[in-house]
Amino acid sequence: MNGERIGLPGAEAARRTPGLAARLHLDLPLLLGLLAVAAIGLVVLYSASGERLEVVWRQLLRLGIGFGVMVAVAQVPPEALRRWAPWLYAAGILLLVAVLAVGATGKGAQRWLDLGVVRFQPSELMKLALPMVVAWHLAEAPLPPAARRVLAAFAAILVPVALIARQPDLGTALVVGAAGFFALFLAGLRWRWLAGLALAAAAGAPALWHVMHDYQRARVLTFLNPERDPLGTGYHIIQSKIAIGSGGLFGKGWLHGTQAHLEFLPERATDFIFAVLGEELGLTGTLALLALYLFLVLRGLHIAARAQDTFGRLVAGAISLAFLVYVVVNTGMVTGLLPVVGLPLPLVSYGGTSLVTVMAGFGILMSVHTHRKLLSPS
Amino acid sequence: MRRLHLKDHRAEQRLFARRAALAAALAVLAIGTVAARLVQLQVLEHQRYSTLSRENRVRLVPLPPPRGLIFDRNGTPVAENRPAYRLEVVPEEVPDLDAMLERLGRVVTLRPIDVERFRALAARKPRFEAIPLRLRLSEAEAARFAVHRHEFPGVDIAVRPARHYPAGPLLAHVLGYVARIDADDLESLDPVEYRGTSHVGKLGIERAYEPLLHGRVGMQQVEVNAQGRPLRVLERARPRPGRNLWLTIDLRLQRAAQEALGEASGAVVALDPRTGEVLALVSAPSYDPNLFVNGIDPAAYRALAHDPDRPLFNRALRGRYPPGSTIKPFMALAGLEAGVIAPGTTRYCPGWFVLPNDERRYRDWKRAGHGVTDMYKAIAESCDVYFYDLAVRLGIDRIHGFLARFGFGAGTGLDVVEEARGLLPSREWKRRARGQPWFPGETVITGIGQGYLLATPMELAAATATLAARGVRVRPHLARAAADPGGPPEPLRFAPEPPVRLAEPRHWEAVVRAMVRTVHGRDGTARGIADAPYRIAGKTGTAQVFGLAEDEEYDPETLAERLRDHALFIAFAPADDPRIAVAVVVENGGSGGAVAAPVARRVMDAWLLRGGGAARGTAP
């Protein structure tokens, strides 16, 4: 490819992001977008936490770690990422299996949290390793991928998804699977495959229902009919909708959300923090944050389209779309569009575990964008 | 990289660009959908939600479920919920909190820790909410406060159910107790289910059956005013009470076992060998679990924790004792099964044993020796030399393999979590744990249940039950049925363990015969309890607490009590149709036959002479 096209975007990038950002392999628009989202998040968190400054400090520390990880990952050239992909994936699978084995022998749910801490790591790694390995695999051959490659990619997706679903962590299994699927989709998976997949999903839903845990079924039923459980999960949704709806155009004002401050709103610093934003800053606040998220996703897709090789393109694209899924699943849940799945709002919800993964993902995007080969192999 | 040449890069790039554009459109669509929803909620339906938020402030108040009751096998309540007088304070109604606490301290007892807890809670809760100051007032205190009540605005007595264990120390090591939820519990408990619940099972049955006993939380929607003060109840979902639980324990038998032990420290475990039901489980000394329910005060806790008799220690489940000679019936079976001995095989016992090429003398408890000894005599009179010889012929590997089939060293899988495992040594274990090879001398003393071999009283009882049932292994359990309040009891099921099958089933009867002779034979070591109206199969044991040098004489008179031998006894009865299997350990009791066997006899009398276990599987 590249002969005539390489120099141009490289020079362009260098012109647009002069100085420190370029030397640190950072993409300035992406960086500014992330900082803006993080800043909004801290402001809302201060209110959502009941004006506890120490909570904000802890979150700031986590964000600092997250940005540090992003900068570090951005230094790694995409070629190295490509070579690591299968190893990261293999390590992730091994860890997932190990965690299941430990979980099985660690008698009973009493030690749930001890396992919980360990459990988290492999599935987080998989959020990045899976799109990487699918991209690595598909980049080996011409696109669109042949049937055998598609089947192999599906296998690579299904194994970790099944392992994570067994933990059981259906929400994470879903987003991990989505990340892998997006790489396939961007690689030009043929429409007849997509149609077949949709059919299989429709046919598989009853089977999925069969293997789901009771509390997972309860969530789905409550989503379909919130009246069913007005005192349990349904209550979360009702209160969240009241908070957002009562915010109106401009909100009740920062620190003045009655829903949030009178403790009507559950999980208001973590999964339901978007409702606090909606109540206190209104439609203005929610749309502004959504716009920023959309900008991050589109910038990611732009970076993907500009990438020099197939691997870079697929990885960058898949990671951007996975990020979109986090945002839509969380905001959809809080506004009552989607069932309650315990996924945080990226960069805004209180908590640090998935934050690092998200930031490492943006590090990969920046790496893809800023390490450009001036010499082409052809 | 070479293969890249095969690709049509331009086509690929175009393909990707198309897909990326599609994805971008999808992103806009998805975010747009959420945005449209926000417009719907925040603009179109704003009025409605605004009204809901302003006027109809609905708060969710949890209704904790009443905890399930626990009964013994005959339906006697052993854990119940009694109304307790609780002193509560609503801070906003108290003019001067410090002065009030000061004056209140003269009417009811207020320990510094009560005030400390109260202040910590008050700092976190709304000022209009009632905060407990004392969880359980005595009747006298409640009466005294009632007289002075008008002097304390904002302070009142509330009646709340509190857990009470009527049997007190008698069942502490079985039931465990509930106590206030602490930070550690919060990490493992479902935050929704435990909203409003103040106590959680910490130990024993209360902990193991926590999910069953707890029930499901109820909720009520309460309308509150702008300050959050409750105005009226809008909707109510009743809590589902915890399920009631029936134990396998027979309270009367439990008491008989406790009384049989007397003042001694030790443990008694009695099982029904046909079902695995634990009929009695005593660990002495014990403690009053009621002390823990509402927070034991630190001084009382220190006294318990530092008591040299260790009342908090569950000897029956966690005490690991050398089984001593009680291991001999199992060793004999191992020898018979391996073909190393036959029941009639004799050895000469001169009172000591030596390994070839070794000068160390392993002595028999009977200095003069037992003379010519067959297996029956070796068990009945507890000849050590016979079993030294047998152990050496078997070797540690075969001993380990055979004893493992009875569950030694593995725990019994009892339905409470705190059960410990004994220790069944092997070559591999020793290399791992001690970094040393196995020495032949260690095999010798393993033959009489000394050395590394350790078993809990629970393991000993379970292994004895397996002997009694001629190889059928049941899983010991403490709970037998559960029921919703008012509902029919449903029996709980426990998967049995794989049975011990012998190549020659008649060997069971040979060993049982030897154990009967231990009790009913003229020279049996437990002949002191032979006058029972039923036939007992038993085995005495004496476990050394500390080692004696080769020539040292064991003299109980000169030894401090804590260094005296532990007395052990295992038994089952009736020998031909066993309905009860018992293991007894009396710490520092001395001789198994003289001290532990009478304890077991009283337990078996209390069960069999009352017709216990005659009818099988009666519903509670």
For the segment B406-426, what is each residue's pLDDT rounded down to a tens digit?
Answer: 999 999 999 998 999 999 999
Question: Is the per-residue pLDDT at B51 higher than 60?
Answer: yes
Instruction: With respect to residue B486, please indicate whether it lies within any of the assigned structural domains.
Output: no
Q: Which of A2, A242, A337 to mutate to test the interface with B (most CBs of B within 10 A)?
A: A242
What ipTM does this complex have? 0.88
Instruction: With respect to residue B226, please indicate whether it lies within any of the assigned structural domains.
Output: yes
B166 touches B282 (CB < 8 A): no
Q: Which of A194, A294, A375 to mutate to test the interface with B (most CBs of B within 10 A)?
A: A294
pLDDT band at A119 (very low <50, low <70, confident <90, very high): very low
Kindly state the average pLDDT of the residues A351-359. Answer: 83
Q: For tokens 């001036």, name the residue.
A: A374
- Could you read off the pLDDT of A190-203 as tens digits, one per residue? 888 888 888 888 88
For residues B110 and B192, membership in a common domain is answered with yes
Assess A297–B contact: CB distance below 8 Å, yes or no. Answer: yes
Are the Cβ atoms of B16 and A304 closer than 8 angstroms? yes
B593 touches B570 (CB < 8 A): no
Residue B285 vs residues A178, B169, B297: alpha-carbon distances, Å? 60, 9, 20
SS in 3 state form for B372-406? EECHHHHHHCCCHHHHHHHHHHHHHHHHHHHHHCC
Instruction: With respect to residue B173, please indicate whether it lies within any of the assigned structural domains.
Output: yes
Are the Cβ atoms of B52 and A283 closer than 8 angstroms? no
Q: For tokens 């020898």, name the residue.
A: B335
CA A324/CA A336 separation, integer angstroms: 18
Assess A293–B contact: CB distance below 8 Å, yes or no. Answer: yes
Q: What CATH number has the domain bearing residue B515?
A: 3.40.710.10
Residue B12 vs residues A82, A125, A303, B9, B366: alpha-carbon distances, Å? 18, 29, 16, 5, 93
A138 touches B7 (CB < 8 A): no
Residue whose C-alpha is closest to residue B32's, from A34, A346, A332: A332
Paired strand residues for B220: B61, B236
DSSP, collapsed to helix, strand or coil, labels residue A57 as helix
Residue A146 vs residues A82, A132, B95: alpha-carbon distances, Å? 21, 19, 80
Instruction: State how beta strands B244-247 and B230-237 pair.
Output: unpaired
For residues B336 and B232, membership in a common domain is answered with no
HSE-CB at B220 with a 13 A cutoff on CA atoms is 15
Instruction: State how beta strands B490-491 and B266-271 pair.
Output: unpaired
DSSP assignment of A134-150 equals HHHHHTTS-SSPPHHHH
Choosing from B325, B382, B426, B591, the catalytic residue is: B325
Q: Count the Cβ atoms, other than its own, within 10 Å of residue B494.
A: 18
Question: Is the per-residue pLDDT at B107 higher than 60?
Answer: yes
CA A80/CA A196 separation, integer angstroms: 35
Are the Cβ atoms of B237 and A328 closer than 8 angstroms? no
- Could you read off the pLDDT of B501-512 as tens digits, one per residue? 999 999 999 999
CB-CB: which of A187, A246, A310 is closest to B50?
Answer: A246
For residues B239 and B346, membership in a common domain is answered with no
Residue-level pLDDT at A219: 67
Residue-level pLDDT at A201: 81
CA B50/CA A245 separation, integer angstroms: 7
Residue type, A31: L
For residues B89 and B29, membership in a common domain is answered with no
CB-CB: which of A113, A187, A242 is closest to B52?
Answer: A242
CB-CB: which of B23, B34, B50 is closest to A331?
Answer: B34
More confident residue, B77 or A237: B77
More confident residue, A262 or A170: A170
Residue type, B576: D
CA A333/CA B592 separation, integer angstroms: 68
More confident residue, B294 or B370: B370
**Total CB pairs under 8 A between chain A and B:** 175
Q: Which of A119, A175, A186, A231 to mutate to test the interface with B (most CBs of B within 10 A)?
A: A231
Greatest mean pLDDT among A207-216, A350-359, B23-32 lies in B23-32
Assess A305–B contact: CB distance below 8 Å, yes or no. Answer: yes
CA A20/CA A12 separation, integer angstroms: 16
For residues B562 and B604, membership in a common domain is answered with yes
Kindly state the average pLDDT of the residues A168-178. Answer: 83
DSSP category for residue B220 = E
- Could you read off the pLDDT of A88-117 as tens digits, one per residue? 999 989 888 887 776 544 333 222 334 433
Instruction: With respect to residue B358, please indicate whether it lies within any of the assigned structural domains.
Output: yes
pLDDT band at B617 (very low <50, low <70, confident <90, very high): very low
A310 touches B26 (CB < 8 A): no
A156 touches A351 (CB < 8 A): no
- Residue B6 is encoded by which pair of tokens? 């095969």
CA B512/CA B285 separation, integer angstroms: 32
Q: What CATH number has the domain bearing residue B197?
A: 3.90.1310.10
**A147 class by beta-carbon count within 10 Å (0-12 exposed, 13-18 middle, 19+ buried):** exposed
For residues B501 and B450, membership in a common domain is answered with yes
Instruction: With respect to residue B543, please indicate whether it lies within any of the assigned structural domains.
Output: yes
Q: Which residues of B touch A194 (CB under 8 A)?
A: none
- Could you read off the pLDDT of B210-262 as tens digits, one per residue? 999 999 888 887 777 655 667 777 778 888 899 999 999 999 999 999 999 99
B199 touches B180 (CB < 8 A): yes
Question: Rounded mean pLDDT of chain B?
Answer: 88
Residue-level pLDDT at B546: 57
pLDDT band at B618 (very low <50, low <70, confident <90, very high): very low
CA B565/CA B556 separation, integer angstroms: 8
Buried b / exposed e along A186-201 (16+ C-beta atoms within 10 A): bbbbeeebeeebeeee
SS in 3 state form for B155-195? EEEEEEEEEECCCHHHHHHHHCCEEECCHHHHHHCCCCCCC
Within 8 A by CB and 6+ apart from A119, the residues are: A99, A103, A167, A169
Residue-level pLDDT at B2: 44
- Residue A30 is encoded by which pair of tokens? 């992406």
Q: Which residues of B touch A248 (CB under 8 A)?
A: 42-43, 46, 50
Kindly state the average pLDDT of the residues B117-137. Answer: 77
Q: What percent of chain B has pLDDT over 70?
A: 91
B277 touches B297 (CB < 8 A): no
Question: Is the per-residue pLDDT at B578 higher than 50?
Answer: yes
Beta-strand (E) ranges in B95-243? 131-137, 155-164, 178-180, 199-201, 218-224, 230-237
Domain that includes residue B430, residue range: 251-294+314-481+492-608
Buried b / exposed e along B367-396 (16+ C-beta atoms within 10 A): eebbeebbbbbbbbbbbbbbbbbbbbebbb
Kindly state the average pLDDT of the residues B182-190. Answer: 70
* Number of domains observed in the structure of chain B: 3
For residues B334 and B212, membership in a common domain is answered with no
Instruction: With respect to residue B487, please indicate whether it lies within any of the assigned structural domains.
Output: no
For residues B133 and B17, membership in a common domain is answered with no
Q: Which residues of A touch B226 (CB under 8 A)?
A: 258
Question: Is the per-residue pLDDT at A226 higher than 70?
Answer: no
Instruction: With respect to residue B416, please indicate whether it lies within any of the assigned structural domains.
Output: yes
Calculate the CA dihedral of residues B608, B609, B614, B618 and round it to 10 degrees. -90
Instruction: With respect to residue B368, please indicate whether it lies within any of the assigned structural domains.
Output: yes
Question: Is the per-residue pLDDT at A18 higher than 80?
Answer: no
For residues B382 and B431, membership in a common domain is answered with yes
For residues B410 and B458, membership in a common domain is answered with yes
For residues B508 and B454, membership in a common domain is answered with yes
Are the Cβ atoms of A258 and B50 closer than 8 angstroms? no
pLDDT band at B45 (very low <50, low <70, confident <90, very high): very high
Q: Is B325 annotated in the active site?
A: yes
For residues B67 and B179, membership in a common domain is answered with yes
CA A318/CA A128 separation, integer angstroms: 9
Residues, chain B, total? 620
